[in-house]
Chains A and B, each alone.
Chain A
Amino acid sequence: MTRAESLSRRALLVSLATSATSSALGRTPYGGRLRLAVPWPITSLEPASLSDGFAALFASAAFEPLFALDAAGNPYPTLAEALPGKLESGCRLALRPGLKTAGGRALSGADVVATLARARSRGAVGLLGELDNPSVDAKAPLGVVFPRSSPDAVARALASPLLALVPRGFSPLAPDGCGAFKVELGSGRALFTRNPNGARGASFLDAIEVTAVTDLAELLRGFEAGASDVAWFGSGLYRAVKDASPFESPRYGFAVLMPGKAAGAWGAPGTLQALLDAVPAEQLSHLGVRGLPAQPSGSRAWGGPPTTIAVPSNAPQLAAVARALAASLSTPGHELSVVEKTASEIQALQSSRQFGLLVALVRAPAAHPREVEMALRTAASPEAAKRAPKTAPLAPRELGRHLPLGVVGELSVWGTRRAPFVNLEAWQLGGVSLRPPP
């Protein structure tokens, strides 16, 4: 069996490995409703976003990329019919026939071209840096031709969740993809329901209800009150809940500290990381931040001008991190204060860079170190990310010593879940199921 064959054995083994009950016995039951709260605003679902916490957690539930990477880092086709085939110059890929979005829209090569074009102007700008613009194969509407790129480079790039396939005319306010769930967005809430057109299988759960909270305590209180099935960063605010199990999902992003023009020389590459490496872990760990240095090193005294740390409003975890950093880094005459900004204000600040410091999220689109590095480089400088060196990927905090941003720590969903929900740890939400009572 060659790698060029569709849905390779490796792919199937991976899918088997991620499906706990595919090997036996009864069958994983369909049904159930998972309710959870998130410390992120819910306004849209943009698969190509690098800075949206809600997308970092839930884009994979509603969207699928054309390829995926196995445990060894090799790509395999998911929505593509096969791995890209080499042409005399460049390469060609084709979509699987018959694919439809949750909204019932048939997908073709033109949708692949449109997906890449819109992702290039968003979080995938670094990822697509050296890939040329593709075009639809004139002979086959499901085909896409990359005029100069190598098949391997195309497959690896298109395995990124940032390049998940969306239909032409896609709007993140009314998201429509071919993942396990279809999604309806409301004000501060989202409802994911089973997508029978799911290109890699409909979800086991009937639905996932997600609500946004503005206070970290609500993440625990809701679990204790029975309004939520997941408790973040603990097992209950006042008491442990019965029939609950601890769990931790893979990291979905990083809290980062970014410098603006007002930071002056303290915004130079490596400077912020040196400060953050000196912050004791106990000052941040209670806020759910992981991946903190075991032993702080160096000085954490901010020596730059008194300035503000901007942070997105309605993102209580980031706000708490910003407040903790302000308290830890401030020194007399070099005070830092926290100011909350709306999403549009943050966007304007990032464009103009007219701010002192900014605490933000950088999504970790996948677990592969190369993709994590590309995400951090893109967040630091989209233009520089296009020309990222091809050396071995660096660990996130190590990378912070070379970039004009500092990695505060890792973000993941950890805490407690109601015991009957199975496979939540992997955070592949289509594969989560509700175990029936004995």
Chain B
Amino acid sequence: MTVVALKSDRELPAPDALRERVQSAVSAALGARRDAKSRDARKLLVELSIEKVGGVLRVTAELRRRTGLWQRIRHAKPSSERHAFVEAPLDAELRALIPPPPLVVSEVLKLPAPERGIVALACGPLGHDGGQELALVSRGNVRVGRIVGGAFAERKRAAWSGLSVVAPAPLREPIASAEITADGTLRLGLTDRRDGLVLSRDLGVLERFEGLLPVPGGGCVARSALGLAARFGRCATSGSSRAEPVTLDAVAGSPLAPLGREAGSARLWGARPELSQAASRVGAQLALGDADTDGNPDLAYSSDTLEPAKDRLTFVTLDGRKLTPRFELPARGISAIAICSVREGPGMAPLVIATGDELWLVR
């Protein structure tokens, strides 16, 4: 077995160690079969090509017959008899060999939003074609599409009126959530509407949660009089109307942790210990993700101000003990934020911000 190529979109501190680790992992996987057919196996060669792209590692394996002396003289390369490919996200072990990218802003692409008043955003691969898409939720529509050539190219749109009836008592200022899940569906909710929803790639309704708002990362919260009840639970109408002492007016989450913003105090609320230690007030636009795939969730939030000119995006990492500040970006009147679930290059995963009539792609 040999590693014939190692490519990376970032400089690797220990490329040999990564080669050895991949080689040993593949050897271990092939070990049992090689023992069984040891004579045949000695005539075979496995060539590995390793590529690190964004937050994933891709390994291609070619199985070739070993060349004899005559073939080597002729520079003849035997054709591949078997081919295998695997792509894996960078887990904790790989992260020891491939350090995460720095959480810094190198580029902000501003493009016109298809409509004003976007209240929630989600970014990730919707469906199974592998490409990352953007979901825009306004009070009237749900749109999905991509950013192509500096513009939002809409692939599909659905009006809320066709997705859910109006809530009997909507909030005067809506609360919304949106998430593209790992299995390629779009979970979303808007307090203007009665039902939380799970939508397919083509925005068909797959599931419906009456009176509940889906929380990114899983689970739902129920409506309370002036916001959302601070209890993350299953997306099933329980019939229980237990009043929660805390009301949330924003939610965010990832499979790593759900969290919300407490309506009265404008402080973060959730089970993670660093949230209770966070002293500062946050705005009502939150997004949680893992922008550098280091295993710690990253949180993006707007400012707790009523003056659009004073608004800014703040980006922090939740490291289990405290909120570690990463960067701030002035942005007038942020109405929604998303952290894309897939890194597309050597840097962190893109962030998407809706501000007034613009979308900002932050990389």
Contact = CB atoms under 8 A, between A and B. Distances in A.
B197 to A, nearest CB: 16
Contact of A24 (B165, B225, B333): B333
Interface stretch (B31-39, B135-143, B180-188): B135-143
Contacts of A165: none
Interface string B102-114: 0000000000000
Contacts of B172: 19, 28, 180, 198, 200-204, 430-431
Interface string B156-187: 00011110011111111110000000000000
Interface in A61-89: 81-82
Contacts of A98: 167-168, 194
A398 to B, nearest CB: 37
B173 A25 contact: no
Contacts of A204: 172
B294 interface: no
A13 interface: yes
* Chain B interface SS verdict (over half): loop
B173 A27 contact: yes
B335 interface: yes
Contacts of A198: 169, 172
Contact of A30 (B161, B170, B226, B306): B226
Contacts of B117: 12-13, 16, 22-23
Nearest to A98: B168
A23 B356 contact: yes
B298 interface: no
Contact of B162 (A5, A22, A23, A28): A5
Nearest to B118: A23
Interface string A5-46: 111110011011001011111111010000000000000000
Contacts of A81: 165-166
Contacts of A13: 116-117, 140
Contacts of A97: 165, 168
A197 B285 CA distance: 26
A431 B250 CA distance: 20
Given A7-B192, A12-B117, A25 B333 contact: yes
Contacts of B139: 7, 12, 15-16
B56 interface: no
A9 B284 contact: no
Contact of B284 (A5, A7, A26, A197): A26
Interface in A171-201: 180, 196-201
Contacts of B250: 27
Which of B167, B168, B226, B334 has the most chain A CB atoms inside 10 A of its CB? B168
Contacts of B249: 27
Contacts of A21: 173, 306
A5 B160 CA distance: 9
Interface residues of B, number: 46
B161 A24 contact: no
B302 interface: yes
A1 interface: yes
Nearest to A197: B169
B170 A200 contact: yes
Interface residues of A, number: 40
Contacts of A7: 139-140, 160-161, 166, 192
A6 B161 contact: yes
Contacts of B171: 201-202
Contacts of A25: 283-285, 302-308, 311, 333-334
A197 B169 CA distance: 5
A166 B63 CA distance: 79
Contacts of B22: none
A6 B165 contact: yes
B263 interface: yes
A96 interface: yes
Nearest to B310: A25
A286 interface: no
Nearest to B165: A97
A23 B335 contact: yes
Contact of A199 (B168, B266, B335, B356): B168
Nearest to A28: B173
A27 B284 contact: yes
A148 interface: no
A204 to B, nearest CB: 7
Given A12-B138, A23-B356, A5 B283 contact: no
Given A5-B159, A96-B168, A200-B170, A26 B305 contact: yes
Interface string A95-121: 011111000000000000000000000
Given A9-B140, A25-B306, A26-B266, A1 B159 contact: yes
A341 interface: no
A19 B170 CA distance: 14
A23 B266 contact: no
A435 interface: yes
A9 B306 contact: no
A28 B305 CA distance: 9
A22 B166 contact: no
A203 to B, nearest CB: 7
Contact of B170 (A1, A24, A201): A201
Contacts of B356: 23
A415 B48 CA distance: 80
B306 A26 contact: yes
Contacts of B165: 6, 81, 96-97
A100 B167 CA distance: 12
Given A21-B306, A196-B226, 4 more contacts: A25-B311, A197-B169, A202-B225, A204-B172
10 contacts: A5-B159, A7-B161, A8-B140, A13-B140, A21-B173, A25-B304, A25-B334, A26-B266, A26-B306, A435-B306
Interface of B: 115-117, 138-141, 159-162, 165-174, 192, 194, 225-226, 249-250, 263, 266, 281, 283-285, 302-308, 311, 333-335, 355-356
Interface of A: 1, 5-9, 12-13, 15-16, 19, 21-28, 30, 81-82, 96-100, 180, 196-204, 430-431, 435
